Structure 1
């Protein structure tokens, strides 16, 4: 019976991978290029174009799709009309219209070829923003704090939304989006006019960001949600950018080599083998239970159904080079957009071979540069919302142990990667680590959407909105303390005299929780711009860290505004560990050994500080 099942499933497999095998035969290295496209037998418009969408204002409007080779295609957008001819190689056609100003009056977009016609209605002209990253960006409004009030007020006919869902990732540079990947399980694959019900299903950050922009600007706003849960940064970088640096190029070759060596048939055959072994073991356990009179509810193994999760396929996995960009973002390049908000970092901060802060920094730069190249805007506005503060919250009782954090290095890499682009007028790092919730998906998402909206309204749109950052200017030794100077005032929004979140170290590199206070001054220009940091355990300090944990302490705000937290930083250059490349098969063991050593050092530092505090405290009841 098992062999019959094996043969039938393998037959199904041959059919299911036929298209894949055919694609392999068309190119010696199919994973390095566009997915092979055959000219269609009928008219097709790219999947991003749908009723109720928003087209980008003030930029050329490009409409494209496919049709039988040589056929004439006419396109009408409102009063604008254009013609194209389906190309000989792929049947692709394209029409470019002149830029238009914002227009809240719905227009029709009609594409015709011969007797065929595709009509899309209620097309608006405004600004289109992309919400990219991983699950904390995709996390729906209905799951966050204040979701009830936000969704109840979401009567916003000029705010439109489209979601590209997980599963669209690909090892190929895709050219079109399948309907199955639009708007989840909703049968309506058009852009959504935002109502309370629609808002509840939107990514929370994207909804709050978009709703604030729409209300402030009074123009149509389109939000494309294409964040992918579990995505590593590697998968979000445009494929062509890996050629720009030798380290990235070597990594891409490693991914491509693994993909070339992977056999879907062999993988599924192995799944069947494992299933049959599990089934035999299950049947043996049932027989033993019956023989011994035991009543045990044993779960029967699930039969493989011939499908393969994207995680299992090298090059297609959301952990691998360009996979998510290929099918979820770059797939609609050619569409004009206003900007991108990005929120990611969790998968790259796990202590295994994926935690490579220096490589992350490089990829952050390449990613933004690649977006700008693909969407033909050298100053495309980009806001990177820093890695969120999940996990165990840092306290005075675990400070040093929680200060041993991969998350902090990834946040630093996000900041530095953006800085490497050298375009501060059009890029921003937006801290989120002050919004501490001990969960994988913290429910404080509204706050992050509001911060991103403040940044955009001030810097992109030039409105009189408060959004600023502050940077450390110097760290001078005034033993036994370090005096930090900032370019702007930084102080707690509750005016507390207790400054939290600093650690300090001498040349040994061992960090202890520090005392910190604002240096008094009569110079109004320097008010709240200097912080004095010290510890009784560090007599010759050389460096400090601030807000350096996954869920860090830290209460400084720029100009004391609660929505402007001071970003995490450090004045040392100590690596978390020697970076292990993705290609090193021994990487996990090396990282585990390094982490064990660092944990032991952090535990010793915590014990020393707590012991010292106990010795310094007077006995209970003494005077």
Structure 2
């Protein structure tokens, strides 16, 4: 049957092309896998109002381009085939042909660095890559693109490739291992898309309309829209947002930029190092103020000048003699701010920097000789080799500052715009997601964002029931011997609850695969196999497969015990008694308690006189746990109220 769809009926947004060729959207290249068992959406750009004819190895289709040349057609659904097909598209005198196409299942893998982690770096990665050749597995890496507006174009180097040592070596290891497991189980061609960017927050992967519908991001989205049209205006509006945040979280620092502020009691640090190299700041994330002085002659002070600071990790707001000269975000972006006329004066001039570090290294780093005032006559007045500094606020107390919404990895929608929008509505079987490390300080907001992303992507790819597979964060950070606050545990529990609320999602816990010392555990084979098991259960009819570890069903008081019911029988390795269980009272005071295991029941001994209101399990950044399912998958960390 021939399908004919007018372009105006398609809910697709494309930029008008400068030329009619190529006719197909950039996601369609040689060696692609097209999704089986559903109508095949094909789209692109031709001459305005052109009639577009399609031929997929004998099946004909037509589409009418709109006034901007946009067109879309639906071809008939097809069963899987490993026999290569050819797609030819014609519009007027223009023709484009792509070949070696297969029909099978397409999976989109996305997230931050643990999904990005390449096969060559994984455990036994070299040998795995050497064995990666399979003509029925096809790989597409989108590359890294961040944009303030949606695009329909992938980078020219983003093309489908047949799996081999050369193509799999730098591909997502977790995605590759998942796809290989699916290929073995389903026996159909598999296409894998790697759309990843290390360090990225979830907000950057949700579309603008998706964030708008969620609520709470209107101002940031408005600033992003301004930035897309006028970067200077957008940066000024974001700077104002940052100032309002600072005024709220650090009112005590209101005078710290003023030139007459007495900073003689402040400590000092070298001007060219991350501040974590200083005693007491080894793990500091938050806001620190830096001050330095430079002496100018009358002739120098009368000139136009630029304040250059080198890079500041992560966000700075910089002042000269109490006057704000600029704000910027980006740990490796060199700062250079024009100093308004009349700001400088003969004699002593004070430079102050409010620096906010949201993770990793922090502060104004880089060569000290590169920091100072660059004057119009070509001379340079250095700030010297030392900053005076004062700790203002900790990130754990203030929460995150407003990020520059156009900045890739920490912005709003920019990675969706550059890396997801060009793919949609390409036919997919499902999604695999490994992300959350960059959002561990905002678990409560993540509980809103994760379901929003799932809905956003299912809508974009016209796949309302597509399986969405999620990796639960691996252990990372110091191990502890007493209960306490754990941001990582909070986010893991959000991941668990998100999956529990949606029957078409699955959770592959990696909590037992991590290391206290490495945020990037190398055993990506197990991650991929766990994702593959979930895919087989949710998407390939293996409904009896137990693809997850034990998860909690309820916690109830039973005399002197609290009984936790799990969704499956469990095994406690070692002593036979589960480790890592806590009971907490209404004052949020928690304590480890003895536990015993009986099939799917964990019995916790309540201390005499203790009013337990909730139970926690494996509640630490790097928990020690010995509770697993019969399938050798770990029990998921959780927090539950006691009923």
Q: What TM-score, normalized to structure 1?
A: 0.71
Which residue does 1:173 correspond to in 2? Answer: 150
SS at match of 2:511: coil
CA deviations over 1:161-206 (Å, ceiling 9, x no partner): 001122x1222122232325x2xxxxxxx31111123222110110
CA distance in 2, matches of 1:232, 1:126: 31
* Equivalent position to 2:452, from 366, 378, 381: 366
The match for 1:516 among 581, 595, 602 is 595
1:47 aligns with 2:18: no
- Equivalent residue in structure 1 for 2:187, among 213, 218, 226: 218
Whole-Å Cα distance in 2 between the matches of residues 67 and 486 of structure 1? Answer: 57
Q: CA deviation at 1:440?
A: 2.0
Give the match for residue 191 of structure 1: 160
Aligned to 2:623: 552
Count of aligned residue pairs for this structure pair: 482
- Tell me if structure 2 keeps the 8 A contact 1:502–1:554: no
Residues 411-451 of structure 1 show CA distances to partners (whole Å, capped at 9, x for unaligned) of: 2222323444xx41x21122211212131212122111100
Map residues 258-273 of structure 1 onto 2, 5 A cutoff: 260=226, 264=231, 271-273=335-337
| Aligned pairs (5 A) from 1:567-586 | 567-572=636-641
Greater mean deviation of Cα atoms: 105-114 or 56-65: 105-114
SS at match of 1:473: strand
Q: For 1:102 and 1:261, locate their aligned partners in 2 and report how far apart those are by CA, in whole Å.
A: 45
2-structure distance, mates of 1:498, 1:372: 42
- Taking the aligned partners of 2:187 and 2:14, their CA distance within structure 1 comes to 40
Distance 2:640 2:176 in 1: 37
The answer to whether the 8 Å contact 2:148/2:227 transfers is: no
Which deviates more from structure 2 when the two are superposed, residues 265-274 or residues 326-335?
A: 265-274
Does the aligned pair in 2 maintain the 1:504–1:538 contact within 8 Å? no
Question: What SS class does the counterpart of residue 217 from structure 2 fall into?
Answer: helix
Where do 5+ consecutive residues of structure 2 fail to align?
Answer: 1-11, 237-305, 307-325, 327-334, 339-369, 386-401
1:131 maps to 109
Structure 1 residue runs of 5 or longer lacking an equivalent are: 1-32, 183-189, 290-310, 520-527, 574-623
Alignment map for 1:62-81 (pairs within 5 Å): 62-81=41-60
Displacement of 1:61 after TM fit?
1.0
Contact 1:238–1:322, Cα closer than 8 Å, also in 2: yes
Q: Residue in 2 aligned with 1:417?
A: 498
Cα deviation 1:506-556 (Å, max 9, x = unaligned) = 33321123322214xxxxxxxx12212237697443322001122212221
Deviations 1:576-612 (CA, angstroms, capped at 9, x unpaired): xxxxxxxxxxxxxxxxxxxxxxxxxxxxxxxxxxxxx
Aligned to 2:216, the other structure's residue is in SS state helix
By percentage of residues, which structure has more strand? 2
Secondary structure at the counterpart of residue 377 of structure 1: coil
For residues 511 and 282 of structure 1, the distance between their equivalents in structure 2, rounded to whole angstroms, comes to 61
Mean CA deviation greater in 442-451 or 469-478: 469-478
CA distance in 2, matches of 1:391, 1:146: 25
When residues 62 and 538 of structure 1 are mapped into structure 2, their CA distance, relative to the original with a 3 A threshold, is same
Q: 1:119 to 1:416 in 2, by over 3 A?
A: same
More helix by share: 1
Aligned-residue CA RMSD (Å): 3.0
Establish whether residue 206 from structure 1 lines up as the match of residue 175 from structure 2.
Answer: yes
Secondary structure of 1:45 counterpart: coil
Q: Secondary structure at the match of 1:440?
A: coil
Q: Please give the per-residue CA displacement for 1:2-33, whole angstroms capped at 9, x wherever unaligned.
A: xxxxxxxxxxxxxxxxxxxxxxxxxxxxxxx9
2:217 aligns with 251
Of the structure 1 ranges 118-127 and 475-484, higher mean CA displacement relative to structure 2 is found in 475-484
The equivalent residue for 1:333 is 424
Matched, 1:386 2:472: yes
Q: Which residue of 1 aligns with 2:519?
A: 440
Q: Does the alignment pair 1:107 with 2:119?
A: no
Q: How does 1:476-515 map to 2 (within 5 A)?
A: 476-478=556-558, 480-492=560-572, 494=573, 496-515=575-594
Alpha-carbon distance between aligned partners in 2 of 1:500 and 1:542, rounded to the nearest angstrom: 19
After superposition, the Cα gap between the structure-2 partners of 1:569 and 1:333, relative to the gap in structure 1 and judged at 3 Å, is: same
1:140-155 map, 5 Å: 140-155=118-133
Contact 2:403–2:410 (Cα < 8 Å) also in 1: no
Contact 2:614 2:641 in 1 (8 A): yes
1:320-371 CA distance string (max 9 Å, x none): 3322222211322121110001111011103xxxx1x232112211211122
Inter-CA distance 229–554: structure 2 relative to 1 (3 Å threshold): same
Pairwise CA distance, 1:377 = 2.1
Q: State the SS of the aligned residue for 1:124.
A: strand
Report the equivalent of 2:95: 117
Which residue does the alignment assign to 1:529?
600
| Residue number in structure 1 paired with 2:6 | none
Which range moved further: 248-257 or 373-382?
248-257
Q: Structure 1 CA distance, aligned partners of 2:523 and 2:193?
A: 21
